[in-house]
């Protein structure tokens, strides 16, 4: 997840299979979710900071979020659901939806809002693999694992034939991979026990390049409210949601 504000620079000068530990414990991320507010940042090893929009994530879905959710088809999997505003909004609409996140605090918050959520990595076995009609990668979650090609390949495995990926991209043309830590203090490094973990930032052009390599084709892109989005679809079958598949996913949950 990342904020859409400009990165902050301070005076301070991958395996994708198990990116769970940095987010899962009593760390600044979990504390911020429990409090419902920041400040919170991703800190690169050279001291570069990216603000994280904790207050927006912990609030209810806003108008921009709802526009994205209006495009969703069938059963929806929200990867890196965070505190759950999107799965809660989908549940309120009567939609079949499940969030997955590696943070216990995020999953607890999601459930408190009325959404279904599992404490699990996207790279772990998940319910309904190959039957999800829509997968969401919002709030910078295209960065999960630090290897966009591997993440998009995994998403392709989760989607049903003709399924839809809705991804939020950086509002600049960037293709970056880095080791980062979560911190709540822009002037201080992460805690000594916090391992850096791999992360990525992609603009829409970079996302489309990686998507082509795993068989996802463009299905639209747009910007609203200072945020950027792209829709991609698997190359097989029709674009319509299959009610039978949606029911099967619901039963699997």
Where exactly are the structural domains of the chain? 62-178+201-252
Phi-psi region of 97 (alpha: psi -120 to 50; beta: other; left: phi over 0): beta
Q: For domain 62-178+201-252, which CATH number applies: 3.40.50.150, 3.40.50.970, 3.30.450.40, 3.60.20.10?
A: 3.40.50.150
**pLDDT category of residue 45 using cuts at 50, 70 and 90:** confident
Q: Are strands 175-183 and 197-202 parallel, antiparallel or unpaired?
A: antiparallel
Output the furthest CA–CA distance in the chain (Å, rounded): 56
Strands (E) in the chain, as ranges, are 8-9, 41-44, 48-51, 76-79, 97-101, 117-119, 132-137, 159-169, 175-183, 197-202, 216-224, 227-234
Give the model confidence (pLDDT) of 216-252 as tens digits: 999 999 999 999 999 999 987 544 444 434 433 433 3
Average pLDDT over every residue of 141-153: 97
* Spatial contact of 33 and 54, defined as CB atoms under 8 Å apart: yes
- pLDDT of res. 246: 42
Lowest-confidence pick of 11-25, 37-51, 68-82, 175-189? 11-25
Question: What pLDDT does residue 107 have?
Answer: 97
Q: In this predicted structure, what is the pLDDT of residue 242?
A: 44
Segment 168-224, tens digit of pLDDT? 999 999 999 999 999 998 776 656 556 789 999 999 999 999 999 999 999 999 999
């Amino acid at each position: 997840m990342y904020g859409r504000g400009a990165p902050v620079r301070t005076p301070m000068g991958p395996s994708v299979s198990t990116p769970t530990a940095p987010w899962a414990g009593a760390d600044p991320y979990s504390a911020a979710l429990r409090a419902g507010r920041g400040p919170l940042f991703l800190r690169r090893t050279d001291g570069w900071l990216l603000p994280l929009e904790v207050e927006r994530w912990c609030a209810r879905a806003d108008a921009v979020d709802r526009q994205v959710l209006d495009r969703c088809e069938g059963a929806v999997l929200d990867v890196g659901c965070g505190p759950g505003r999107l799965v809660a909004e989908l549940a309120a609409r009567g939609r079949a939806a499940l969030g997955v996140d590696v943070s216990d605090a995020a999953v607890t918050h999601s459930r408190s809002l009325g959404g279904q959520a599992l404490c699990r990595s996207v790279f772990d076995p998940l319910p309904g693999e190959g039957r999800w009609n829509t997968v969401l990668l919002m709030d910078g979650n295209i960065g999960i694992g630090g290897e966009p090609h591997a993440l998009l390949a995994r998403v392709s495995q989760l989607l049903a034939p003709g399924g839809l990926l809705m991804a939020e991209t950086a509002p600049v043309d960037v293709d970056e991979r880095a080791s980062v830590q979560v911190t709540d203090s822009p002037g201080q490094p992460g805690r000594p026990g916090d391992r850096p973990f791999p992360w990525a930032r992609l603009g829409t052009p970079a996302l489309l390049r990686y998507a082509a390599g795993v068989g996802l084709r463009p299905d639209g892109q747009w910007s609203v409210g200072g945020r950027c989005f792209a829709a991609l679809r698997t190359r097989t079958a029709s674009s319509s949601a299959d009610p039978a598949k949606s029911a099967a996913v619901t039963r699997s949950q």
